[in-house]
Chain A
């Protein structure tokens, strides 16, 4: 099956005064139609940069160094600003972290929605409003006709995130990138929004990239997971395999850190140390200073991705998995 999104050897760099730093390092990722992929990692792992680089919206001084991003068979990483605007918000939509901030406070919901439609479709005002109403109903907003003329401050956080999702649905995109869509919401609303995303993906045949640091959320929503650390994908594979049988010590640490794995009263586990800053990535495996299973080879040689299970496509970039280091 032809993947809808295919990222090959992607490097994203930031040109700083002190030199270039690599935020995303030789990343490979592919996504099939209708598939839901989770991207997991700590803050600063490069998750959001990846999301933005797919729609070519990396803020300066960032730029795409090497590699290619193919979307529906076309290499969009080399598109001009004009060309990418036809993809952005049209075929690929993005949902942001904070629904309080992502809507313009001085424009009505209706205005913001119809405007997004007019940016990509040649339709009449009535038709645009009809589409907006239809999508609002799809995200379960009660009485959408009334809501269309209201301003963002008249909605609760969960409602606003629904509206943002409705906006991202306006042009029936092929892919939605959701960048921590529930971080700013409380847990019950979080579950609602996630259920909504799954429902929409299934009914519309959309693909989803869910960027989050919450393994719990990812395991409920996605079919595959890619774990990122310091700009690299260090483990990827089917969600179930990764949650049940993590191969990379970092992933193991993340899963161990979930509160569910502890008894009440017991202190939570945390991975010791901090993720290295991008200017100061250790030689060898980037995770080696924090790794409980570190060997000599980890300090010198960078591990390449190797199959842990060829049948399911479960891969990990660790010397333990490739067999260079005996466990």
Chain B
């Protein structure tokens, strides 16, 4: 353990991280956001899921520094009287969870398909890649709207509210797997001609072993890079779906549904309900993307920044 920590400290990854201010700042912000959102039940001043603690009389209170603000609610309250700070912390936790879950699903499907298509080639490759093309030609939103609309009418809104998180993970996961499949397939095509693959065949290893044990680790740098981008995308997709009212329900708001909920009140002057979740969403997506950029530069030394 100590040895691997030392290895990490000596690694080029850590070295270039230390020298990149943007990466350090992004990582720090991301860390703060993640810690804040995942420790929400411990540190949030209120529990927005607890209907008992919500007082409708507190609704639409402006941030504390404004005239009608109360020191009890730092960033004000939403239309239901929930403390915005707490609601956002809980909401961000949902956004990150859904984003990570969706990306994991994408990765599992996409990497398997990409490996199989790239390594086995031939008709199977054609079939799988055309499947990916078809999937990509349906916009993510379209698929998501379709699936969640069908689900809501079939099982009713209350059932939907219970299953919203896994459902969103599956929808976003399925809509975006071709990104992984294509990237992995391209890397596999480059790797499979290399001599170590031939050597693995000569040793008598099975195809599955060669694919997952030998080729997959060699495609990991591109997988890592698209993973960061895809997490940001998935968080965005979730927010967009929630904004359209097809994502997280109002009683368990994610950042997107908070923005949506506040949007109705923006003209009545309650701008904070939309603005603050918006800022945090932008911040979250931005730092993930910046980290992804940095990672791409580090893992791909051929791409020099001018």
Contacts and interface: CB of A to CB of B under 8 A. Distances in A.
A103 interface: yes
Contact of A88 (B202, B209, B220): B202
A316 to B, nearest CB: 32
Interface stretch (A28-36, A114-122, A189-197, A250-258): A114-122
A29 to B, nearest CB: 20
Interface in B180-233: 194-196, 198-206, 209, 213-214, 217-218, 220
A119 B203 CA distance: 8
A102 B204 contact: no
A235 B283 CA distance: 75
B202 A164 contact: no
Contact of A96 (B195, B209, B214, B218): B195
Contacts of A55: 202
A162 to B, nearest CB: 15
Contact of B204 (A88, A103, A107): A88
Contacts of A85: 204, 206
A96 B204 contact: no
Interface of A is mostly: loop
A86 interface: yes
Interface residues of A, number: 26
A102 B196 contact: yes
Contact of A104 (B200, B201, B206, B220): B200
A57 B202 contact: yes
A88 B204 CA distance: 5
B96 to A, nearest CB: 29
B201 A57 contact: yes
Given A96-B195, A101-B194, A101-B196, A106 B218 contact: yes
A308 interface: no
Interface of A: 55, 57, 85-90, 93-94, 96-98, 101-107, 115-116, 119-120, 164, 167
Pairs of residues from A and B, 10 with the lowest C-beta to C-beta distance, nearest first:
A89-B204, A101-B195, A89-B203, A106-B217, A102-B199, A94-B202, A88-B204, A104-B196, A116-B203, A85-B204
Interface of B: 194-196, 198-206, 209, 213-214, 217-218, 220
30 contacts: A55-B202, A86-B204, A87-B204, A88-B203, A88-B204, A89-B202, A89-B203, A89-B205, A93-B202, A94-B202, A96-B198, A96-B202, A98-B195, A101-B194, A102-B196, A102-B198, A102-B199, A104-B196, A105-B196, A105-B218, A106-B218, A115-B203, A115-B205, A115-B209, A115-B213, A116-B204, A116-B205, A119-B204, A119-B206, A167-B199
